[in-house]
Copies of this chain bind each other. A is one copy, B any other.
Amino acid sequence: MVTIKDIAKIAGVSPSTVSRSLNDHPHISNKTKEKIKKIAEELGFEFNEAARTLNKKKTNTIGVIIPQFFDDMRGEIFFANLLGKLIKEAQLKGYHVRIEYEIEKNQIKKLVQSRSVDGLLLLNPYIKKEDIDFIIEKNIPYIFLHYVAENYKDKKLNYVRTNQEKGGYIATKYFIEKGYRNILTLGGLSINSEFIERTNGYKRALKEYNIKNEYILDTDVTFEAAKNAIKKMKNNLKNIDAIFAQTDLMALGVIEALNELNYSVPKDIPVMGFDNIQLGTYFKPRLTTIEQPIAKLAKIGVKKIIELINKKIEINQIIDPKLVIRESA
């Protein structure tokens, strides 16, 4: 493998000069610079990353911590999407991403103590208080992405996340403005607070329009559970004008249940989802839904953690979801 020393020998200069030339240091004559760059190019030289990291104490790596298990398929789709976008965003900015499932107990500490990353993107609501304390104490740049640590509400944490409450609000308001008054929302049973927030948005919209009738039903966050829930309440469906399911997969379950009960969607009962997964665009009726801004989440998350690493900022950000109107509602 070719090193700076090899180039120095060929060019008849010192390794210092080679280093400075290749790094475009200002006080080097253009003649030397060009000569050295040409030799480097010809030999296919690239800086040894480990040597640079050791010397500069900078890895250009962002650690991404993800949970080992997902509750459901939905989590997997979401994560897979987000990870792909994180990788790409980081790469575009000259960083790369080191993704680790949280498996061992001291994983975050090891990652930090071994100086393997410059900062952390925490994509995991289950991060232990002990780890968070450690990150803060050591002053490691970090951002909670999408989630904010559930078990550590008291401290002010850095985060970039979606405004779930607003998503619930937009969905509900959409129905209200179309004239519906008896709106059922299907929330999720999960320790994650996103469903609570969406339901809060639902409530706020109703309140704003002075609607007293709240229909809230929480089920497991799956296609099947949502489908079964609707089938079980078949005798009460005549009271319902519209359904806001808090995930797309649940919305698809709801639609299948309604079809089997001979309700037409959206004519008899319109259905709205949440997430905007590809899946929702395939089957008829195409799903109207609230879009999770995954691309934005990735873009802003990567941008902010890099800024934090370079000490430029320290601000939280909440991203708005977006209504996607198709056919189901």
Contact = CB atoms under 8 A, between A and B. Distances in A.
Interface stretch (A107-115, A171-179, A192-200, A313-321): A107-115
A256 interface: yes
Interface size class of A (residues with CB under 8 A): 35 or more
B73 A113 contact: no
Given A80-B81, A278-B73, A283-B283, A49 B114 contact: yes
A80 B84 contact: yes
Given A109-B44, A115-B1, A96 B98 contact: yes
A97 interface: yes
Nearest to A111: B46
A317 to B, nearest CB: 25
A244 interface: no
Q: How many monomers of this chain does the complex have?
A: 2
**A77, A83, A98, A282 — which one has the most chain B CB atoms within 10 A of its CB?**
A282
Interface in A32-56: 44-51, 53-54
A171 to B, nearest CB: 22
B44 A48 contact: no
Contact of A46 (B80, B91, B96, B114): B114
A158 interface: no
Contacts of A44: 109, 113
A54 B47 CA distance: 12
A92 B96 CA distance: 21
Nearest to A73: B278
A149 B73 CA distance: 32
Interface in A63-88: 73, 76-77, 79-81, 83-84, 87-88
10 contacts: A44-B113, A46-B110, A48-B115, A49-B116, A50-B54, A50-B115, A54-B54, A80-B81, A91-B101, A279-B279
Contacts of A87: 99-101
A84 B54 CA distance: 29
A256 B109 CA distance: 51
Interface in A262-299: 278-279, 282-284
